[in-house]
Amino acid sequence: MHISRCTVGIGLLQAIRAAHAQTAIASTTETPAPTTATVTVVDVPTATATTGAYFPPVGSIEPDYSAEGLDELWNVIGSVEAPPFTTTVTPTASVALPSPPPPLYPAFFAPEPKDILPQYKFPAGFKYGVATAAYQVEGAVKDEGKGPTMWDWASRQPGGVADNTTGDIVDLNYYLYKMDTARVAALGLNTHSFSVSWSRILPYGAADSPVNQEGVDHYSDVIDTHLEYGVEPVVTLFHWDTPLALQAYYGGFTSPKIVDDFINYAKAVFSAYNGRVKTWYTFNEPRVFCEQIASYPFNVTYAAGVNTSTAPFHCAYYLLKAHAGAVKAFRAMNISGEIALKNDDFVGTPWRANNTDDAEAVERHAAFQIGIFSDPLYTTGDWPQIMKDTLPEEYLPRFTDEEKADLLGSADFYAIDSYRSWFVSAPDNGVAACVSNTSDPNWPQCNLNMVYDAQAGWAAGVLSDPGTDWLGATPDGARELFNELNRRWPSPKIYVSEFGFSEPFENERTQLYEIKQDVARTNYYMTYLGEILQSIHEDGVPIAGIFAWAMIDNAEWGSGISTKFGIQHVNYTTLERTYKRSAIALSDFWAAHQS
Ligand code: BGC
């Protein structure tokens, strides 16, 4: 299987496939492109270990909803680092923005944020904000009744995270959310998209297990704080932090049992925060999540009968059923607002012009990366035909007519986490040979991402930090992508639910003046926002919100804190936040372009 976002250590199978993909590209004869390490697909592991993870055999821990039962779950994790304080901090002073940074370039070379496409404004009601996820920013993982999650576990497995960062403390946003919200408000941004951690609401995850009122109250105050500061809270129910209990009891998203448990959790969150949250997501990037659980270290935690090859598709099937069930409940409960899930990735451009195999590879890419979760919701209620033609039922369970009916229309808008847009090529043995051979290293996707052009081998975009080899800044492809999304999966409204950039080698900078000077990230945001304005005004694409990933530096999954996405720096000794140039640029851009 070809994985285009590798967020954790990479399994042996993936390692072999990624290696093959590199060979395939390097040996392609049509291009004079370099044959060195710049010849790359985007699947580069951020950690090296591929074995050594331990998880209790699935089913060996019986559901036990007592304090002892919770201890047993935490024992799977081992010891947890306690945060330096355990009460919510209330800011005592208002947040002052720093004096404006000097222009980066002469105006003839690059305009300042306010001068970019000044004729275009964002439409009324536009959501212009930032994004985070519970595991990546909260810390306080064992506080106030929370149960462990699979990322609390994964971060402790050998090689699970490149720099061994755990979520134990990170940004301690769990106690610092008031300050963090005040700092977003000070920038003038109007929205923050964050996730609720399932195991804070239900420490044992399961539908028949007790609700943790402290967890419910926590997010209630987080939401109220946002409303007080005029920062709209947008809530994601699941951003990859599966309750460890459910993995231990039955294998998490590799088991059908997850469906009812997720629906129950969703209902608890809907009823707790109904009326205060207007935009909801069930799942963040299900494709990345389902591929993540097919890799090390999660590949030792499956339900019986599931393996690394089938896990992503079984996960996709149960996750979609969970999504549809949650949306059904949302509507039956008359919850106010709108709901969808967050797709990710790009459609792609054929690597070689007029090459039918590459054109077919693009279609495969669109199907396996986006169509997998978009066709069922927006166009057919079913998997993309390409997937059904490729994958036998033991890999890809088929939907019943009733399931299709539940899926189709189960999203009120379209959301895309849109970080990049690469070229796509056929594998060097061609699409047909790959598709017909289940042992082909690129099966079943049978397409490759290409990060340089086919003619002269020029990089397709601005390179990011080495910890995120899947990422490059490719603003030139943004409009085409939004047009394609709008054409293929039409919806009344599109949110760019995440976009962002890892400043190359930011982790090696030691002085604040160096860290704050995040030029590549600033350029990323300014160029993408210009493209987004053009998409809205020149292409008529109904983009209604953007969310910069991320509000602050955070635990970047398998890369830990070594790869930075924040528009604010976090000093991991003092937990102090500092605005980077990109934060000020985003603020200035919004001030000049809001209607
Ligand atoms: C995910 C985030 C992640 C970001 C940068 C998105 O795919 O939703 O959790 O940190 O990309 O890798």
Distance from Cα 5 to the centre of ligand 1, integer Å? 9
Q: For residue 585, give both structure tokens.
A: 């640029």
> What is the rounded distance in angstroms from the CA atom of residue 495 to the CA atom of residue 546?
6
Question: Which atom number of ligand 1 is nearest to the Cα of residue 554?
Answer: 10
In this prediction, residue 50 has a pLDDT band, given cuts at 50, 70 and 90, of confident
> Is 285 a pocket residue for ligand 1 (Cβ < 6 Å)?
yes
pLDDT in tens, 104-145: 999 999 999 999 999 999 999 999 999 999 999 999 999 999
Q: What is the per-residue pLDDT across 284-337, written as a single tens digit (0 to 9) for each?
A: 999 999 999 999 999 999 999 999 999 999 999 999 999 999 999 999 999 999
pLDDT band at 48 (very low <50, low <70, confident <90, very high): low
Cα–Cα distance for residue pair 414/340, rounded to 1 Å: 7
The per-residue pLDDT for 13 is 27
* CA 36-40-44 angle, 5° bins: 115
- For 136, how many CA atoms within 13 A lie in the half-sphere containing its CB? 27
The Cα 544–Cα 364 span in angstroms is 28
Mean pLDDT of 351-376: 98
Q: Is 556 in the pocket of ligand 1 (CB under 6 A)?
A: yes
Q: How confident is the model at residue 51 (pLDDT cuts 50, 70, 90)?
A: confident
- For the cut 50, the answer to whether the pLDDT of residue 59 exceeds it is yes
What pLDDT is stored for residue 37 in this prediction?
Answer: 26
Percent of the residues in the chain that have a pLDDT greater than 70, as a whole number: 92
Chain-centroid distance of CA 178 in Å reads 24
CB atoms within 10 A of CB 395: 18
Cβ–Cβ < 8 Å for 465, 43? no
Ligand 1 contact, 345 CB (< 6 A): no
Measured distance CA(475)–CA(52) in Å, rounded = 40
Which tokens sit at 198?
């399932």
| Residue 54, both tokens | 């331990």
**Model confidence at 26: pLDDT above 60:** no
Predicted local confidence at residue 6, as pLDDT: 33
Peptide linkage before 297 cis (omega within 30 of 0): yes
For residue 21, name the pLDDT band (cuts at 50, 70, 90): very low
Query: Of 430, 439, 500, 432, which is closest to residue 465 (Cα–Cα)?
Result: 500
User: Would the pLDDT of 273 be above 80?
Assistant: yes
Q: From the CA of 438, how far away is ligand 1's center (Å)?
A: 30
Q: What is the distance between the alpha carbons of residues 525 and 573, in angstroms, rounded to a whole number?
A: 28
The number of beta carbons lying within 10 Å of the beta carbon of residue 274 is 14
Long-range contacts of 73-77 (CB under 8 A, 24+ apart): 73/147, 73/148, 73/203, 73/204, 73/244, 73/245, 73/248, 74/142, 74/147, 74/148, 76/148, 76/153, 76/244, 76/248, 77/148, 77/152, 77/153, 77/156, 77/244
Ligand 1 midpoint to CA 131 (Å): 10
Cα 73 to ligand 1 centre (Å)? 27
Active site annotation includes 285: yes
Cα of 344 to ligand 1 centre, how many Å? 9
Q: Is the beta carbon of 291 within 6 A of some atom in ligand 1? A: no
With a cut of 50, say whether residue 32 has pLDDT above it: no
Q: What is the rounded average pLDDT for all residues in the chain?
A: 92
DSSP 8-state secondary structure symbol assigned to residue 125 = T
Question: CATH fold of 2-593, please?
Answer: TIM Barrel (3.20.20)
**Which of the residues 232, 363, 403, 498 is marked catalytic?**
498
| 567 close to ligand 1 (CB < 6 Angstrom) | no
The per-residue pLDDT for range 380-412, each reduced to its tens digit, is 999 999 999 999 999 999 999 999 999 999 999
Bridge partners of 168, per DSSP, are none
Ligand 1 neighbour 469 (Cβ under 6 A)? no
| 526-549 per-position pLDDT tens digit | 999 999 999 999 999 999 999 999
H or E stretch at 261: helix 258-273
C-beta of residue 447 within 8 angstroms of C-beta of residue 21: no
| Intra-chain end-to-end CA distance of the chain, in Å | 46
Residue 39's pLDDT is: 27
Among 7, 292, 554, residue to substitute to test ligand 1 (most atoms within 8 Å of Cβ): 7
241 ligand 1 Cβ < 6 A: no
More confident residue, 42 or 195: 195
Question: What's the mean pLDDT in 268-285?
Answer: 98
Mean pLDDT of 164-172: 98
Provide DSSP, 464-484. --GGGTT-EE-GGGHHHHHHH
Per-residue pLDDT averaged across 422-432, rounded?
Answer: 98
Q: Is 253 in the pocket of ligand 1 (CB under 6 A)?
A: no
- pTM for the whole structure: 0.93
How many angstroms separate the CA atoms of 51 and 30, rounded? 38
Does residue 452 line the site of ligand 1, with CB under 6 A?
A: no
Residue 458 backbone class (left: φ over 0; alpha: ψ -120 to 50; beta: rest): beta
Asked if residue 199 has pLDDT above 90, the reply is: yes
Per-residue pLDDT, averaged over 345-357, amounts to 97
Please count the residues of the chain: 595
**pLDDT at position 12, please?**
26
- Residue-wise over 46-62: b if at least 16 C-beta within 10 A, else e? bbebbeebebbebeebe
Residue 3 has pLDDT above 50, yes or no: no
Q: How far apart are CA 490 and CA 481, in angstroms?
A: 13
Catalytic entry in 285, 291, 484, 531 = 285
394 is catalytic: no
| Phi, psi torsion values for 128, nearest 5 degrees | -125, 100
Instruction: Name which of 231, 243, 202, 285 is nearest 76 in CA terms.
Output: 243
- 284 CA → ligand 1 middle, Å: 9
